[in-house]
Copies of this chain bind each other. A is one copy, B any other.
Amino acid sequence: MNSESPVAISTQALQRMPYYLQYLKQLQGDGVKLIAAPAIAEALGLNEIQVRKDFAAVSTAKGKPKTGFIVQNLIDNMEEFLGYHNVDDAVLVGVGSLGRALLSYQGFDQCGMHIVAAFDSNGSLIGGEVNRKKILPVTKLSEMCRRMNIHIGIIAVPENQAQMVCDQLVAGGVLAIWNFAPTHLFAPKNILVKNENMAASLALLSKHLKERIESE
């Protein structure tokens, strides 16, 4: 494994990349051409050695002592590394309030994902559209995934329907699932399931506040 990447990269490092990209693009917008690792570390609240390692894992060009890295190069290398250049088609299942928000979000295309259609089981929604994406009946889900060669399935349905939707996405041949339902999903090992569980984040906030307030 990792045949194409000379240096292995951790999951954590991977998820720092979008923060680097956001800041690097901001610098670029301000006309900055060069940037050093310590400056980025400072701006993003990270350790500078960590930044250097992360850059080493994705950068084709080496940094120059006393100078740093070429902003444009880093942006290109990161986007290439993350696969933002070859956009994957996605479908979204569950057109509730969260589903609508995701369908309306403009930034996914720049991150290598394009939502082509939405699915729902509610007959009154079917045939409508949100942000120019048609809402189709969920009964057609796996067939459409296969026909359109969809790679990503986004699950935004209630938790009791999530596993069923997951199964159909897998049957439709998707390779990755982005799960917004607050439940564990079973999927074949070669399918990546990324959970986005608000309750898990809230647990962190709630516990922090409980401790702060109790310690008074």
Binds B, one of A120-128, A140-148, A164-172, A189-197: A189-197
Nearest chain B CB to A107's CB is how many angstroms away? 7
Question: Does A39 reach chain B (CB closer than 8 Å)?
Answer: no
For A101, the chain B residues whose CB sits under 8 A away are 97-98, 100-101
Asked if B100 and A186 sit within 8 Å, CB to CB, the answer is no
Asked if B111 and A45 sit within 8 Å, CB to CB, the answer is no
Asked if A88 and B183 sit within 8 Å, CB to CB, the answer is no
- Chain A 8-29 interface 0/1 with B at a Cβ cutoff of 8 Å (1 = within): 0001001111110111000000
For A202, the chain B residues whose CB sits under 8 A away are 18, 108, 111-113, 178
Q: Which residue of B lies closest to A78 (CB)?
A: B203
Nearest chain B CB to A19's CB is how many angstroms away? 6
Asked if B205 and A178 sit within 8 Å, CB to CB, the answer is yes
Asked if A111 and B15 sit within 8 Å, CB to CB, the answer is no
A152-B209 contact, Cβ under 8 Å, with A15-B201, A199-B18, A204-B194: yes
Binds B, one of A30-38, A48-56, A69-77, A79-87: A79-87
Question: Does A138 reach chain B (CB closer than 8 Å)?
Answer: no
Asked if B203 and A17 sit within 8 Å, CB to CB, the answer is yes
Asked if B45 and A197 sit within 8 Å, CB to CB, the answer is no
Question: Does A176 reach chain B (CB closer than 8 Å)?
Answer: yes
Contact of A206 among B104, B112, B199, B214 (CB under 8 A): B112
- This chain: how many copies in the complex? 2
| Dominant SS among interface residues on chain A | helix
Asked if B178 and A214 sit within 8 Å, CB to CB, the answer is no
Complex Cα–Cα for A182 and B106 (A): 13
Asked if B176 and A23 sit within 8 Å, CB to CB, the answer is no
Asked if A200 and B19 sit within 8 Å, CB to CB, the answer is yes
Complex Cα–Cα for A175 and B215 (A): 13
Query: Beyond the given A14-B203, A15-B201, A18-B197, could you list 11 further A-B residue pairs with CB under 8 A, ordered by the A residue number?
Result: A14-B204, A15-B197, A16-B200, A21-B199, A22-B199, A82-B206, A83-B210, A98-B101, A107-B199, A152-B205, A194-B205
